[in-house]
Amino acid sequence: MTGWILRIIVILIILRILWRMIMGPMRRPRHERRKPGSMPLVRDPVCGTYLLPDRAIKSGTGDDVVYFCSETCRAKYHDGTTP
């Protein structure tokens, strides 16, 4: 009786190894399966902080938009007191 159980276990192990050898190259690694979407960041020209455009304070229009992390940085930029 135990001989049958051992044979079944060995056959299952061999089948599992063969399955991984055949399907392994076709599967992507786990870290590539769930890649989070990247968000573009903008840089504050005064203090150099990187932030999301949605949370930034914007100044300008069209292609001349400048992004700031705070009202203080925006005021320094417009006053010309940037370092």
For residue 64 the two structure tokens come to 């001349």
What confidence tens digit (pLDDT) does each residue in 14-65 have? 999 998 888 776 666 666 555 566 788 999 999 999 999 989 999 888 888 9
- At position 53, the amino acid (one-letter code) is P
pLDDT at 67: 93
Alpha-carbon distance of 82 to 73, in angstroms, equals 8
pLDDT at 11: 94
What confidence tens digit (pLDDT) does each residue in 51-82 have? 999 899 998 888 889 999 999 999 999 887 65
Q: Model pTM?
A: 0.52
pLDDT at 49: 93
Question: Rounded to whole angstroms, what are the CA distances from 67 to 50, 54, 76?
Answer: 10, 10, 13
pLDDT at 1: 66
Question: Taking a C-beta distance cutoff of 8 angstroms, is the pair 77, 45 a contact?
Answer: yes
Nearest to 51 by CA among 19, 35, 73, 18: 73
